[in-house]
Amino acid sequence: MAAQLLPLVNSNNNHGIPILFCYSVFARPTSVPLGAGYEVLIQKFLSLYGDQIDIHRKFVIQLYSDEWGQYIDLPKGFVISEKCKLRLVPLQVQMTVLGNLTPSTTAFFCCDMQERFRPAIKYFGDIISVSQRLLQGARILGIPVIFTEQYPKGLGSTVQELDLSGAKLVLPKTKFSMVLPEVEAALAEIPGIHSVVLFGVETHVCIQQTALDLIGRGLEVHIVADATSSRSMMDRMFALERLARTGIIITTSEAILLQLVADKDHPKFKEVQNLIKASAPESGLLSKV
């Protein structure tokens, strides 16, 4: 084998060992310190191929074995002891998204719920109603909320039924996606956020593009189906179907709120329960199931 397991590495030996790194059709020679392990190798791969690697994917590093005449997975505890040839292989298996939610790791995104959309969006009154209960739940549970408004100069402000007080950010935009530098900076100020609950309009435009941008940044996305709509039910339903296939979680407002409290003994359970005593309006979804 071209490299060996070393039970002990002399930390004073910093000599670089020649390595040939292979990724896709590209092979690049470099060197790593004697005793370099998995983490060092990953960082070296990223430094060499960073413009070609999707860092949100899962990878395995393999070693070329003269004995087998092919690449084999690195054994546990592997460290570099001599010149060798390594390759980085993206895993093709889609990882299951569990979709767990906790208030301390979740942010709510309310997208473009503006007055000028009222006459055009299907079931807009229902979407406002469900958005209200989500925002009330966020306030009860201390979950940060980010609002955007699409070109408010021409399309008006957020509808009066939705309370913007206490919002982490209310941001005008012209880009369809909510993922703007100001939004990313606001998220960075909240430690531990890894899930976003997303709702608003339109499902096939701003919601879809926001969701894809968020998962591209490694965040888990939950779209509230009964709190998002479009001018066309066809656009709405095909967008939800497409997003579900990408690993984005399509769910409902009641499921979100009860998942966030998780236990009838949660100190805020009664307040959240009051929000969902009446079932949410189905807003045309049941006829499409």
List domains and CATH numbers for the chain: 16-90 (3.10.20.90), 103-288 (3.40.50.850)
- Mean pLDDT across the stretch 263-268? 96
Cβ–Cβ < 8 Å for 86, 113? no
| pLDDT at residue number 46 | 83
Q: What percent of the chain has pLDDT over 90?
A: 68
Q: What's the pLDDT tens digit per position in 117-169?
A: 999 999 999 999 999 999 999 999 999 999 999 999 999 999 999 999 999 99
**Among 43-57, 92-106, 146-160, 198-212, where is mean pLDDT lowest?**
43-57
| pLDDT at residue number 15 | 60
What is the CA angle 91-187-163, rounded to 5? 125
Residue 114 in this model has a pLDDT that exceeds 90: yes
- Mean pLDDT across the stretch 26-54? 84
Residue 289 in this model has a pLDDT that exceeds 60: no
Write the burial class of residue 195 (CB in 10 Å: 0-12 exposed, 13-18 middle, 19+ buried). Answer: buried
Residue 14 in this model has a pLDDT that exceeds 90: no
| pLDDT at residue number 24 | 77
| pLDDT at residue number 2 | 39
More confident residue, 50 or 207: 207
| pLDDT at residue number 3 | 42
**Tokens standing for residue 257:** 């709120």
Q: Label residue 210 left, alpha or beta by phi (over 0 means left) and psi (-120 to 50 means alpha).
A: alpha
Residue 279 in this model has a pLDDT that exceeds 60: yes
Query: How far is Cα 246 from Cα 253, in angstroms, rounded to an integer?
Result: 21
Q: What percent of the chain has pLDDT over 70?
A: 90
Query: How far is Cα 154 from Cα 94, in angstroms, rounded to an integer?
Result: 42
Q: What is the mean pLDDT of the chain?
A: 89
Query: How far is Cα 119 from Cα 125, in angstroms, rounded to an integer?
Result: 10
Q: List residues with catalytic annotation.
A: 112, 173, 206
More confident residue, 288 or 17: 17
More confident residue, 176 or 8: 176
Query: How far is Cα 220 from Cα 233, in angstroms, rounded to an integer?
Result: 25
- Mean pLDDT across the stretch 210-218? 89
- Mean pLDDT across the stretch 251-263? 97
- Mean pLDDT across the stretch 264-276? 97
